[in-house]
Amino acid sequence: MKQKFDAIVVGGGPAGCACAYRLAQNGMEVLVVERGKFAGAKNMWGGAFLGPVLSNLIPDFWKEAPIERYVARQRFSLLWEEACFSAEFTTPKFSRPPYNGFITMRSKFDRWFATKVEQNGGIVASGIQADDLLWNGKQIVGIVGGGDKLPADVVIACDGVNSILAQKAGLGGERKPQDVKQGVKEVLQFPRELLEQRFNLIGDEGIAWEFIGSCTRGLPGGGFIYTNKDSLSVGVVVQLNALAQQQVKANDLLESFKSHPAIARMLDGGKLVEYSAHLLPVSGINMMPRLYTDGFLAAGDAAAFVVGTGLILEGANFAVTSGVAAADTVIRAKQKGDFSANSLAYYQELLEKSYVMKDLKTFKKAPHFLENPRIYTTYPELACNFAEKIFTSDGQPRKKTWQLLKETMKGKVSLWQIARDLMQGKEAI
């Protein structure tokens, strides 16, 4: 292997591959170190990659990338006991390239992305764990990986929410349980024709379906279903400290979610082909570490670049954007021959100008707001019970809608509490 690289990227996920791809495109000698057997082997997401961000880096990527389906429909549901209250949005705009979002499997997508890095001259080394950093005084000058010293002008940590390298570099980043959620997911295989019939899909259309309510037994988090070509990705994401406090296992919540009557019928006949679990940062800017130091940058989940509002949980776009920003910073530093913290501060400037930092700041109050237990208990119960009252015909005179609402709310929540939650929601999301 080469004696010294311009840059070493640790982690072959979207942030790492985007960074390495941009560097390789610009003639930089870059090495990607991935601890899995291949890029994507140890990674997980629910399935949806929202927005056209990747098309700015790789135009017309959808013509060659391993996309399962494009997100033609967004559905959101409140679950309570045996009931389900849903809202759905669809538009023809979502059905045209570059698409508003697409569904993919990380094991396929990351592997393809890593191949694009190699096609542009980068090196992707799988099965290597980055154990430590190399130092020259206060300057980071490479990594120790697979027992070997691998020198470089700069190291970019794209190694996930528990980035050991970011901590070793002195950026902080030690995660508290309330800042992290655990996701567990199963992939259930179906005949493609059955899947499309069951979810009313045509061609390569797909659905991204999010849930809150009884799927997490009142704990902060939610469930999801994404349609792949011939399978479903089904899972739950739950706040880690809540799991510990209630002594509940995320996998038990997944089984409970799958058994809900509204969900079980969708999963009937599916064959389990994959199970995975993953930690993700959810406190956004409130848990963000320092982003750079001498010879070192952090991107993607390692920098806590994830935004969750209860309606969306977005991190893949932030990963790609931050990876590209890190690459542009390294390219500029190479031209200047300066990889000091002062030079790499350009990374922060790029992110501040981008939607990444703007979104993180806009929704900085969302994590605290989403800890409100009424979001996962009271309001799903009210919505389902209220709908049941409206749509029930029992041979008795019907009551006005407002009267039904007051009856539903009685003993559950006051107008004052609803008003307060709405005001907090207005500020947060």
Q: Which 3 state secondary structure label does DSSP give 160?
A: coil
Mean pLDDT across 363-378: 95
Domain ranges of the chain: 5-66+105-173+289-353, 178-281, 369-428
- What is the reported pTM? 0.94
Query: What's at 341, amino acid-wise?
Result: A
Q: How confident is the model at residue 95 (pLDDT cuts 50, 70, 90)?
A: confident
Q: Which CATH number fits domain 178-281: 3.40.1640.10, 3.40.50.12160, 3.40.50.300, 3.30.9.10?
A: 3.30.9.10
Cβ proximity of 269 and 194 under 8 Å? yes
Domain 5-66+105-173+289-353 in CATH 3.50.50.60? The answer is yes
How far apart CA 418 and CA 405 sit, in angstroms, is: 13
Q: Is the pLDDT of residue 344 over 80?
A: yes
Mean pLDDT across 41-47: 78
Q: What is the pLDDT of residues 11-32, one digit of tens each?
A: 999 999 999 999 999 999 999 9
Mean pLDDT of the chain: 94
Q: How confident is the model at residue 42 (pLDDT cuts 50, 70, 90)?
A: confident
- Report the pLDDT value the prediction gives residue 318, as an integer from 0 to 100: 95
Question: Hey, which residues does 184 pair with through a beta bridge?
Answer: 236, 277
User: Which residues are within 8 A (CB) of 143 and not within 5 positions of it... i.e. 6 or more apart?
Assistant: 8, 10, 33, 130, 131, 132, 133, 134, 149, 150, 152, 155, 165
How far apart CA 228 and CA 329 sit, in angstroms, is: 36
Which of 62-66, 96-100, 402-406, 412-416 shows the lowest per-residue confidence on average (mean pLDDT)?
Answer: 96-100
- Report the pLDDT value the prediction gives residue 2, as an integer from 0 to 100: 60
